[in-house]
Amino acid sequence: MIHAAAFGTWATRIPAIKHRVGIGDGKLGIALTGLAIGLFVGTRLAGGIVDRFGSRPAIRIATLALCAVLIGPALAESLTALSAALFVLGAVGGFLDVAMNAHTVVVERGYGRPIMSSVHGLWSVGLLIGALAGAGAAGLDLDPRLHLGIVAVALVPPTLLALGGLLPAGADSLPAETRRTEDSVRASLLLPAVLLLGVVAFSSFFGEGAAGDWSAVYLRDSLHTSSGVAATAFAAFSFTMAACRFVSDRLQTRFGPVALVRVGSLVAACGLGLGLVIDRPVAAIAGFALLGVGLAPVVPITFSAAGNTGLGPTGVILGRVVTMGYLGSIVGPALIGGLAQATGLRTALFLLVALALVITIAAGSLSSAAGGTRVATPAWPGA
């Protein structure tokens, strides 16, 4: 929730920060590239550090660092400074993403049942809280420096409270004598099972990112609705995704991760596909809502599966899968935009339908997630 609230806050103040720095859309795109590069770097660095030192110290440092660097973009006075601040924000956020998911994998093993989707559901709640508070601050025309500063300070007490309940530092670090050589780790990252998990994460992140950036545009420009009606498409997607994540763990326990993701991705493909074919605002809103329903369990189950492959160090493999997922969220909106320019936005959005079907085909790679075929890994520290 803390991670999501920070990024939800930043996202709502992009227009104000853009105006304060005095840059146009093109230069803002350059600055946002810094954020994307930072996310990539952070996810790549996290795996080895988590495996060597454990996720507890990584989370403790990165969460407090996230509170500190959140104010950085609001303090920027130039394009260079804004790009650098966003790079740091992205790197810390990406690093924390891998560390906290690696920790959740270990906690999940201790419970003996799936909990990853509920944890990701809380991430969605945090994003909503950050976005709503940010919208209120923007409506009051609050200076982004003051706003982000208040949020950064306000996040510290819950951060300290949450950090006190983490597992011991050695819960998921690898003993020195069992750490693999660099060559063997690199080889494990190229195994088909790991690459398939990356494809699933990429496809889901692609759909989530495209829905966020293009759902309202599709209703407003292609179906000629009002701005208010257009905004309900992404709201419907976000609500159904958050709500379904809180029931996904129970469904995963009952039906298994492979079946749940396979059915969910089919719901996403058929729902959005029909919504685009019918070509009416109500159908489009329902289509994006069903896309949220279908994609809700995909990323949590994929991360759980990545942490339980047994094919190599948990942090490194999870970090690679998270990195491939982030690439989907970076590439997705831009690729949809390029296709829309050439073929029209309605046609371009069918790419989301195709990628949902890719998830259906690759769902078999998720059998190592909690609730599926368990792998030979320690169930709990000291057990």
Question: SS3 sequence, 155-176?
Answer: HHHHHHHHHCCCCCHHHCCCCH
Mean predicted confidence (pLDDT) in 285-293: 94
Q: How confident is the model at residue 375 (pLDDT cuts 50, 70, 90)?
A: very low
Q: Are 296 and 117 in contact (CB under 8 A)?
A: yes
The total of other beta-carbon atoms located within 10 Å of residue 178's CB is 7
When divided into structural domains, the chain yields a total of 2
Q: Is residue 291 situated within a structural domain? A: yes
CA distance 271 to 290: 5
The two structure tokens encoding residue 191: 């195994």
Q: What Rg do the C-alpha atoms of the chain give, in angstroms? A: 20
Same domain (yes/no): 209, 340: yes
Residue pLDDT, tens place only, 50-79: 888 888 999 999 999 999 999 999 999 999
Same domain (yes/no): 212, 256: yes
In percent, the amount of the chain with pLDDT more than 70 equals 91
Out of 110, 142, 173, a domain closes at 173
Domain range for 96: 1-173
C-alpha dihedral over 238, 240, 242, 244, to 10 degrees?
Answer: -160
pTM: 0.82
pLDDT on residue 378: 39
Q: What is the CATH number of the domain that holds 342?
A: 1.20.1250.20
Same domain (yes/no): 147, 235: no
Q: Is residue 188 situated within a structural domain? A: yes
Distance of CA 145 to the CA centre of its chain: 26
pLDDT on residue 174: 54
The two structure tokens encoding residue 48: 């080895």
The two structure tokens encoding residue 292: 């949220």
Q: How confident is the model at residue 376 (pLDDT cuts 50, 70, 90)?
A: very low
CA distance 13 to 134: 7
Same domain (yes/no): 190, 161: no
Q: Is residue 73 situated within a structural domain? A: yes
Out of 128, 144, 173, a domain closes at 173
Residue pLDDT, tens place only, 181-229: 444 455 455 677 888 999 999 999 999 888 877 888 888 888 888 877 8
Same domain (yes/no): 203, 299: yes
Work out whether the CA dihedral 16, 69, 130, 120 comes out positive or negative.
positive
Same domain (yes/no): 96, 210: no
Q: Is residue 378 situated within a structural domain? A: no
Mean predicted confidence (pLDDT) in 119-135: 87
**DSSP code for 224:** -
Out of 173, 202, 231, a domain closes at 173
Q: Are 85 and 20 in contact (CB under 8 A)?
A: no
CA distance 73 to 87: 10
- Sequential DSSP letters for 106-121: HHHHHHTS--HHHHHH
Same domain (yes/no): 55, 112: yes
CA distances from 257 to 144, 242, 303 (A): 42, 18, 12
Q: Is residue 235 situated within a structural domain? A: yes
Same domain (yes/no): 322, 281: yes
Residue 236 backbone dihedrals phi, psi, to 5 degrees: -65, -45
Same domain (yes/no): 138, 250: no
> Which comes out higher in pLDDT, residue 325 or 188?
325
Average pLDDT, the chain: 85
> Which comes out higher in pLDDT, residue 351 or 133?
351
Residue pLDDT, tens place only, 292-321: 999 999 999 999 998 888 766 777 888 889
Same domain (yes/no): 100, 249: no
Q: Is residue 381 situated within a structural domain? A: no
Low-confidence winner among 126-135, 200-209, 308-317, 373-382 (lowest mean pLDDT):
373-382
Q: Is residue 379 situated within a structural domain? A: no
Q: Which residue, chain included where needed, has tokens 């103040």?
A: 13
Mean predicted confidence (pLDDT) in 287-294: 95
Residue pLDDT, tens place only, 225-246: 887 788 788 888 888 998 999 9
CA distance 260 to 360: 10
In percent, the amount of the chain with pLDDT more than 90 equals 44
344 backbone φψ class: left, alpha, beta (φ>0; ψ -120 to 50): left
Q: Is residue 259 situated within a structural domain? A: yes
103 backbone φψ class: left, alpha, beta (φ>0; ψ -120 to 50): alpha
Q: Which range in 40-44, 123-127, 223-227, 269-273 is most confidently predicted, on average pLDDT? A: 269-273
Give the three-class secondary structure for 4: helix
Same domain (yes/no): 72, 201: no
- Sequential DSSP letters for 76-100: --SHHHHHHHHHHHHHHHHHHHHHH
Same domain (yes/no): 155, 199: no
